[in-house]
Amino acid sequence: MFEVNKKLFNIGKNSKTSKEKTFGTKVKPDAKSWQEENRERISKFLSKAKENYNGIILPDINYEEGRYLYLALKEAGEAVNETGFMDMLASTEPPLLERFVHNQFLVCPHHKSSFLVNVRMFCPKCDSICVQRLHLFEHKSCGYLAEKSRFSEDNSQLKCPSCDKVVKNPQKEMRVPAAWYFCSDCGEKFDDATIRLYCKEYDHDFSISEAMTVTIYGYSVASSERFQFDYLKLKNDVVKTLSEFELAVEENYLVKGKSGNDHIIDVYATNKKGQSVFILINNSESNSVDSRIVQVLDTMPNTAILAGYPAISEKTKSVASKYNATVIASQNVQEILSEIKKIVSQKMNLGVTAAR
């Protein structure tokens, strides 16, 4: 009989079958080798992130559908709902992206398909939601203490029922020493209401301790890779955009304000009726929106547009609108130009002429 040579067929306790070799554990490539393999895609993605998003990548959040998308990932051919590509860029040495917490909120532990959650107050006695907060008011001049409803209103002004004086300036004449809650169903008054979260999509309540936390990240191009906002490019593009209208356009135009101070307007345009539009572009970190609003207030143009600011509070936008100024808080250059075009067309009632 022939003796089988086990070594020839690689059979033994230390051998591996072909199945084991095929389905063995796959080693995940490290950040350095991954970076080398994807160098071209990475370069294109970072370039587009700096050019179109000012180096800051934020998600579009859909609260009703409970999802968030990073549209910038299209530049790398990646799925817009996956962060793996950007997470790898944040793990390179040195990191090409910096990850930060953009938003964090509580969601229903049973229905994570929606981010629509409200806070509701309940009566600790009867569990009713008909709860309102009451404030105790004190009339400083006479020391009378009562709820606001006890102070009668006379021509939209509060009147003290104790001394019969009209409260002309509530902020100076009144004090709020305490507050409590009142249940209109059972009539109970209490210091602290029961707080629960309400899942709007599936119509049920849950406690804060039961809630799950969703953390959504933003990504910024690392400081070593980032360049400053391209002020000159945007200004040139704005001039080209305004040239589509029948406007006389000038750059770095000097305007004397009501205060006597001179102001340099990045892009100044007027129509045949003498109406003016000022385009004020962010060109440095110290060039705040507030300082630009002061310029608008001092010069009083027909239309003012502040552009190039990546993040603006709603309060600042509201203040700007009072002085006929619009703040475009966008990170996308094309979006800024589109908004300028729309605002100028609406505010100055202009039509676009065909480009020559």
Each residue of 13-35: pLDDT tens digit? 444 433 333 333 444 457 778 88
Can you give the pLDDT at residue 331?
59
Sheet holding 56-57, edge to edge: 56-57, 212-221, 97-107
* Residues with pLDDT less than 70, the chain: 1-29, 153-155, 224-229, 284-287, 310-314, 331-332, 350-356
Can you give the pLDDT at residue 309?
72
For 81-98, how does the pLDDT look when each residue is reduced to its tens digit (9 = 90+)? 999 999 999 988 888 999
Can you give the pLDDT at residue 25?
40
Can you give the pLDDT at residue 284?
60
60 strand-pairing partners: 69
Can you give the pLDDT at residue 39?
87
Can you give the pLDDT at residue 250?
92
Can you give the pLDDT at residue 227?
46
Residue 268's closest CA among 246, 292, 244, 251?
Answer: 251
Token reading at 305: 């547009």
Helix (H) / strand (E) element for 149: namely: none
Alpha-carbon torsion, ordered 10, 16, 17, 18, to 10 deg: -100
pTM: 0.48
For 162-206, how does the pLDDT look when each residue is reduced to its tens digit (9 = 90+)? 898 888 888 888 888 888 899 999 999 898 899 999 998 888 999
Provide φ and ψ at 120, rounded to 5°.
Answer: -125, 145
Can you give the pLDDT at residue 99?
93
Token reading at 128: 């009713």
Rg of the Cα atoms in the chain:
31
Residue 181 DSSP symbol: E
Alpha-carbon torsion, ordered 290, 296, 297, 301, to 10 deg: -160
Q: Report the CATH architecture of 231-347.
A: 3-Layer(aba) Sandwich (3.40)
The answer to whether the CB of 339 falls within 8 A of the CB of 330 is yes
Q: Where are the domains of the chain?
A: 27-118+202-227, 124-192, 231-347
* Surface-to-core class of residue 69, CB atoms within 10 Å of its CB (0-12 exposed, 13-18 middle, 19+ buried): middle
Can you give the pLDDT at residue 5?
44
Can you give the pLDDT at residue 82?
92
Distance CA(346)–CA(349), nearest Å, equals 5
